[in-house]
Structure 1
């Protein structure tokens, strides 16, 4: 293979992965919304990670065993990080899907870089330029427009959809994880870190899943219709999206790769329209534009936001 073909093929794989990654993340919201009536949210979160673990552990175990001393030394930090990422983020996302649309989930989810930047300023003391502060403010206005559905009385009367507010809590949780990840860095290879986080996060979810199973939802019936969404959650937005994202970040850098995150709500709106019959309202367009402009200003101006590892 010639030297010219190899870089071209590498670039094609990079950008194909960068398009597939937000598509898989958008699918996470759409499939969750479409199946939340047949699979309880906590069952969805727990079994998603159990399936992912079953796939990853045979490959990850040698690295985990080699780094067992490091894992033990940083176990407290890793449990905290796993709680906010694997444990809380997707669990809250799936709970949000009960009472809000896939489009709203994806729009609010797209503001994760804003929450990372805001919390880095609050917790780590990162300096924020005026134009970045403007971007954060515009993105927050965009979130409010989506949550309020274009009606200010929804906010003043505290009538917002619970799912929208739960989704805000989810992105706050991921932002907190991202900032703590930077402050409490764990010296592990990426794949070993990911696998250990999924293992610990699954253990964090376990008691909540069991309580929900025994006292609330009663679980779900395992059929082809319920097994397929769980397999999708584990393989596509979990393992494959992570692999595509990391390959792209190593190829072209986090700043250029981050631009493709903005495709997530676009894909979610298209998929939700096709498969769920959701329609875009004027507030989606206005809120989406405010979020997009805010993201561009906050993440492309001045010092870049802290890097974060996406596990949605």
Structure 2
């Protein structure tokens, strides 16, 4: 763990009893990330996708400014030599991912979104193999293949033959691209500047806010923008304060407590919480092909993670 990587002071100031509860924090984190798919579907007709993308990072940046201003003020100069890298990371992992995420919600279900999002750990493994020549065993490749098969099942609605006829759902395609962008962001974290993680997060969130502006302008120019409804503003606050800010901070803190390898295992809860919340909150039907896809994705992730080298 890098020096100062934990968002020191946030938990001791607001929720001191949570300071050392890594597993509670990780369950909370993944529950909120799963709920983000539900929020994306609830936002349809309440707030336009690019407005939601832009507004969530405004809210997140304000929260970071209030809660981490001392660390940001202390370390921001150390980020200047890496401004190009930070710009790319914020654009890919935050703006690009979320813009596609919320646009996808207009065309596909929260269940599909959550299951496809759950493939990110295996996409990271695949990216490590392709771009960093990371040594990957045969069983890990089996895990990758199973996970990719899960994507095919979801994107085809349980009828893979439709893909040959280009009979796919554009929302699922956008979600697959979004997951690839976030996997690229996760791979890029290997080169993160040597500053506290909360400071790097604040910098990338600021970039995400700025890069979202042209997307919002384009949405307005195309006539797709509308003023958010009261429910839309409530969703902006929700995704800005919880999926964008609080869950990122809790994940950073938990990684500082138990290490990235052990914390990363909890990401497998996202494709479980997401569909569960979609059924409970939205009343979405859980079809047989969803269960098959979820089994393939989770099974693939399990094989890929347990058959590789383990560490803290």
Q: Indicate whether the TM-score tops 0.5.
A: yes
Which of 184, 199, 210 is the equivalent residue of 2:206?
199
Secondary structure of the residue aligned to 1:74 is helix
Contact 2:197 2:252 in 1 (8 A): no
Secondary structure of the residue aligned to 1:67 is helix
In structure 2, distance between residues paired with 1:27 and 1:299: 24
In structure 2, distance between residues paired with 1:256 and 1:60: 26
Contact 2:198 2:252 in 1 (8 A): no
Which aligned pairs between 1:125-136 and structure 2 lie closer than 5 A? 125-136=133-144
Structure 1 residue 269 and structure 2 residue 309: aligned?
no
Which of 291, 304, 309 is the equivalent residue of 1:298?
304
Structure 1 residue 20 and structure 2 residue 28: aligned?
yes
Secondary structure of the residue aligned to 1:127 is coil
Which of 207, 217, 221 is the equivalent residue of 1:210?
217
TM-score normalized by the length of structure 2: 0.89
Structure 1 residue 72 and structure 2 residue 76: aligned?
no
Secondary structure of the residue aligned to 2:151 is helix
Secondary structure of the residue aligned to 2:98 is helix
Secondary structure of the residue aligned to 2:188 is helix
Q: Which runs of 5+ in 1 are unaligned?
A: 1-8, 308-312
Which of 16, 25, 45 is the equivalent residue of 2:53?
45
- Deviation per CA, 1:182-201: give whole Å up to 9, x if none: 1x331221111111110011
Q: Which runs of 5+ in 2 are unaligned?
A: 1-16
Structure-2 residue corresponding to 1:4: none
- Deviation per CA, 1:51-81: give whole Å up to 9, x if none: 1111111343443333343222111111011
In structure 2, distance between residues paired with 1:49 and 1:203: 9
In structure 2, distance between residues paired with 1:133 and 1:213: 44
Change in Cα spacing, 1:180 to 1:243, as seen in structure 2 (3 Å) is closer
Which of 83, 89, 92 is the equivalent residue of 2:91?
83
Change in Cα spacing, 1:198 to 1:12, as seen in structure 2 (3 Å) is closer
Structure 1 residue 279 and structure 2 residue 311: aligned?
no
Structure 1 residue 116 and structure 2 residue 124: aligned?
yes
- Deviation per CA, 1:8-29: give whole Å up to 9, x if none: x669832222221111011100
In structure 1, distance between residues paired with 2:248 and 2:179: 18
TM-score normalized by the length of structure 1: 0.89
Which of 107, 110, 127 is the equivalent residue of 1:102?
110
> Please, what is the CA RMSD of the aligned residues?
1.9
The count of aligned residue pairs is: 296
Structure-2 residue corresponding to 1:310: none
Secondary structure of the residue aligned to 2:68 is helix
In structure 2, distance between residues paired with 1:190 and 1:11: 17
Give, in angstroms, the shift of residue 275 of structure 1: 2.1
Structure-2 residue corresponding to 1:227: 233
Structure-2 residue corresponding to 1:246: 252
In structure 1, distance between residues paired with 2:295 and 2:182: 22
- Deviation per CA, 1:266-310: give whole Å up to 9, x if none: 2222221122121111111111111111101112222359x9xxx
Give, in angstroms, the shift of residue 249 of structure 1: 2.0
